[in-house]
Structure formats: C-alpha cells, structure tokens
C-alpha cells in the first residue's frame, strides 16, 4: 500500500476505536457509571438506581433506555387518561 493510504487510515478518527454509543443504547453491563440517573423532561423528576440493583432487577443485557423508561413510568404522576399524553418523557443528558 502507498504511504499516503496508510497515513489516511491512521489519521482517521475512527481508527482509535469504534464510535461511542449513546448511554441510553448501552446494555447495563457496558455502562461504567455506578449510579444511573434519568430525568423526566415533563415533570422534572429525577430517578436514580445503582447499577448493581438495576442488573439484579432487569438483567445485565437489559438496555438502559428501557430500564430508565420503566423506572419513570412506575412512579409517574402525570396521568391524563390519554395514551398520547400519559407518562414521563426521559432525558438522558442528566449527569
């Protein structure tokens, strides 16, 4: 291979590893944080769970998006009776 081709491959930012997966799409076992937090954009409520507890309740291959949505839905206070309006709206940007 020509040197220019190697240089192009090695300077590509993707050469450092696979692209980062958003936390909401990660399996619980792949998340490095010990405390997982999800916030509702609708009622501004925050729900936290320890990673070890989440794995014990939902399994290590469970996706954080599904677990977080379930945690919010179990404690939701915004019930209107209309499916389109019920429930919480998760925000995965909380720290």
Number of domains comprising the chain: 1
What span, in angstroms and rounded, lies between the C-alpha atoms of 76 and 14?
40
Q: Is the pLDDT of residue 21 over 50?
A: yes
Structural domain includes residue 42: yes
What span, in angstroms and rounded, lies between the C-alpha atoms of 13 and 1?
20
Structural domain includes residue 8: no
Structural domain includes residue 9: no
What are the b/e assignments for 24-61, b being 16+ CB within 10 Å?
Answer: beeebeeeeeeebebbbebeeeebebebeebbeebeee
Structural domain includes residue 15: no
At 48-78, the pLDDT tens digits run: 999 999 999 999 999 999 999 999 888 776 6
- pLDDT score recorded for residue 35: 93
**Does an H or E element contain 35, and which?**
strand 35-40
- Domain span at residue 40 reads 23-91
């Amino acid at each position: 291979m020509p040197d220019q081709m190697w240089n192009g491959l090695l300077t590509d930012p993707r050469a450092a590893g696979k692209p980062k997966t958003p936390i909401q799409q990660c399996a619980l076992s792949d998340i490095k944080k010990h405390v997982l937090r999800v916030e509702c954009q609708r009622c501004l409520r925050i729900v936290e769970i320890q990673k070890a507890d989440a794995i014990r309740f939902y399994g290590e291959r469970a996706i954080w998006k599904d677990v977080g949505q379930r945690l919010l839905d179990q404690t939701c206070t915004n019930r209107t009776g209309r499916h389109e309006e019920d429930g919480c709206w998760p925000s995965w940007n909380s720290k």
